[in-house]
Amino acid sequence: MPTLSLTTDGPLSGSVTVPGDKSISHRALMLGGLAVGETVVTGLLEGEDVLATAAAMRAMGVAVERRGGVWHIHGVGVGGLLQPQTALDMGNSGTSTRLLMGLLASHPLVATFTGDASLSRRPMARVTVPLETMGAQFTTSPGDRLPLTMTGACPAVPIRYVLPVASAQVKSAVLLAGLNTPGITSVVEAVPTRDHGERMLRGFGATLTSEDTPDGRVIAVTGEAELRPQVLTVPGDISSAAFVIVAATIVPGSAVTILGVGVNPTRDGLLRALTAMGADIVRSGEREVGGEPVADLTVRHAALTGIDVPSEWAASMIDEYPVLFVASSFANGRTTMRGIEELRVKESDRIAAMATGLRACGVAVEELPDGLIVEGSGGEAAAGGATVAAVLDHRIAMSFAVLGLHVRAAVTVDDAAPVATSFPNFSGVFEQLGARLNPSE
């Protein structure tokens, strides 16, 4: 089993790019598959999660080809997906699973979803409940988990669904199901979540409205849509850039520029949190790419001060909390992060896994039911010297690799394999900035 360990003898410096945004890449493949004609995508994330989505779309009759780094998707039209002949293997990808369940829920076909051990532990009821209301039927494993089999409804029934928890995956699943459902399907969210799905649906020609009401934001899509193919460029994933941002912030003397990062305001909570703690992050070259705001980010080492992170920021940075825990380890004073119980049902229980690994590396933490309190070192290097468990979770693995850049003794992540799900060239990017990859076992 390959391990992962990064060290550095000095500052990180240089300019890098990070892989394309994972959320946008999934949606580009799915909506391209429902448009009539050829959608062309550059910058698509070629990690295992997105490749699982591509394979599933192929299994349902969509021609998906990669030619010279550019992806070509020949869509079959809304309602035109075919019965898959084998189970759809989602690997580690919760996003693929939940969004595809929505996409297929209003099609007259039967699909079985399987996944790896980590994905098979993740609950799916938050998606199956609204989709059952629309008419889809599910047979799940105990605990509403994978493997599961779904029988789509055609015609499905339009619904108005109030999100019980903030979740862009559930929102997108319901809206995707609404594409092939007669009438208007709507979702009400009390807390705004990432809006890539809405932006892209509009770009592909769907009739979609968004209105702020006393109950929250109401997003509605008109069904039996006709989607138009698009030419798309996927911006760099801020969730991947987060590891570089935190590394440059904690390693003394560092100055790094990350080019072409998506800075969608529904995704920039980490930038707000780090800036509030004193981080030196400068945006330049702000522009729009494929309907998404993009900027170059220059990050310099800075002293951080612990804060109480507002829980209302959680939806805009939920995937970035593990690496924010790392940044907090080097702050002056205490950082309190609450309202993030969602992390307990990600690829792993990210609160528990990070707390265990941080303690092993000499960081004082207090685990809460809905969060974590981290006592920072005031900028001093952490003790390190531990081998920590990735627990089949790419963000846990990469977070501890970043921690290892400012420790007294090397930190080793026990399993590097999960990193390929979202950031296949993670080690290469850090080596480009001056870090050193320790030999793997």
Write the pLDDT tens digit of every residue in 209-234. 999 999 999 999 999 999 999 999 99
What's the CA gap between 300 and 249, in Å, rounded? 6
pLDDT over threshold 80, residue 202: yes
Annotated binding residue at 350? yes
The pLDDT score that the predictor gives to residue 318 is 94
Annotated binding residue at 137? no
pLDDT over threshold 80, residue 89: yes
Q: Extract the tokens encoding 54.
A: 């591509």
What's the CA gap between 60 and 116, in Å, rounded? 21
Cβ-in-10-Å burial (0-12, 13-18, 19+) of 354 comes to: buried
Annotated binding residue at 171? no
What's the CA gap between 96 and 194, in Å, rounded? 16
Domains of the chain: 6-20+236-437 (3.65.10.10), 22-222 (3.65.10.10)
The pLDDT score that the predictor gives to residue 348 is 87
Query: How does residue 431 score in pLDDT terms, banded at 50, 70 and 90?
Result: very high
pLDDT over threshold 60, residue 429: yes
The pLDDT score that the predictor gives to residue 440 is 64
Active site residues: 319
What's the CA gap between 132 and 153, in Å, rounded? 9
**What's the chain's average pLDDT?**
96
Write the pLDDT tens digit of every residue in 16-41. 999 999 999 999 999 999 999 999 99
Annotated binding residue at 22? yes
